[in-house]
Amino acid sequence: MRLKILCLSLFASLLVSVEPKPKFDNETIIAGVMAHFHRVFEKVTCKVPQPRVFKLETEELRAMPHATIIHRCGESTGCCDFFTERCVAKKKERVKLLAFVMPRNGRGENIVQEFVFTNHTECYCESIMDTPK
């Protein structure tokens, strides 16, 4: 019986401590949704590639710097107007970057290695129907 009373009193105290959700009128809701919409499409429209970090190191090799920044178009970098489109690269360029590379086991010489990446320079929205699978 004591356990039952303890459980009921704990449950009652939890109910009292829970704050009610604020109630919004339709105008406030619509304004919030529109502000969110404009923020997303102003900042991440599918046009300008976004920087992404790519690691240069492997299990066998250390590199200095250990990573580089390459620009990319993609689902996590830009939004399209329709769900039937996806953000892809319109223009690309090859970039060559140099880094010091050394074996992780400590044996061998440090060398300068050239890394070649494809950097996206412009994005656009492409229909998913046009994308080869």
Asked if 77 and 49 count as a contact pair (C-beta separation under 8 A), the reply is yes
Q: How far is 80 from 68, CA to CA, in rounded Å? A: 27
CATH number of the domain enclosing 96:
2.10.90.10
Alpha helices in the chain, H assignment, sequence order: 2-17, 26-43
Residue at 3 is within a domain: no
Residue at 19 is within a domain: no
Asked if 104 and 61 count as a contact pair (C-beta separation under 8 A), the reply is yes
Joined together, the tokens standing for residue 10 give 């704990």
> Is the pLDDT reported for residue 107 higher than 70?
yes
Residue-wise pLDDT tens digits, 12-56: 555 455 556 666 788 888 888 899 888 887 778 899 999 999 999
Q: How far is 110 from 101, CA to CA, in rounded Å? A: 6
Q: Number of folded domains in the chain?
A: 1
Sign, CA torsion 30/31/32/33: positive
Residue at 25 is within a domain: no
Residue at 8 is within a domain: no
Specify the pTM: 0.66
Range of the domain at 90: 49-130
